[in-house]
Amino acid sequence: MAMNPMEMMKLGERLRIFTSQHPKFPAFLKDVGDNGIREGTIIDVKVTTPEGREFYSNIKVTAEDLETVEILKNLKQS
């Protein structure tokens, strides 16, 4: 699954903008990725819209999930 170089450049720019707008979030993800994720970990996600509507979900991390995370980490380093 090759990615178009122009799309990769757009994605890189969007990630830079996201990081500048939410500077604590990438550090949070790095800390969790480096120290908190292992098989059996529960990840809870809650989203609240401006109108107050809430969406909630969670997952229990599997060995396959960890493999996917490693692939994504390697993509970032390429």
25-46 residue pLDDT tens: 989 988 988 887 899 999 999 9
Q: What local confidence, expressed as pLDDT, does residue 33 receive?
A: 81
Nearest residue to 62 (alpha-carbon basis) of 76, 46, 42, 45: 42
Q: For residue 74, name the pLDDT band (cuts at 50, 70, 90).
A: confident
Instruction: Please tell me whether the overall predicted TM-score, pTM, comes out greater than 0.85 for this model.
Output: no
Query: Using an 8 Å Cβ cutoff, are 41 and 61 in contact?
Result: yes
Residue 68 pLDDT exceeds 60: yes
Same domain (yes/no): 54, 21: no
**Cβ neighbours of residue 61 under 8 Å, at least 6 residues apart?**
37, 38, 39, 40, 41, 42, 43
Please check whether residues 32 and 43 belong to one and the same domain: no
Write out the residue range of the structural domain in which residue 14 sits. 1-36
Specify whether 43 is located in the same domain as 73: yes
Distance CA 1, CA 11 (A): 16
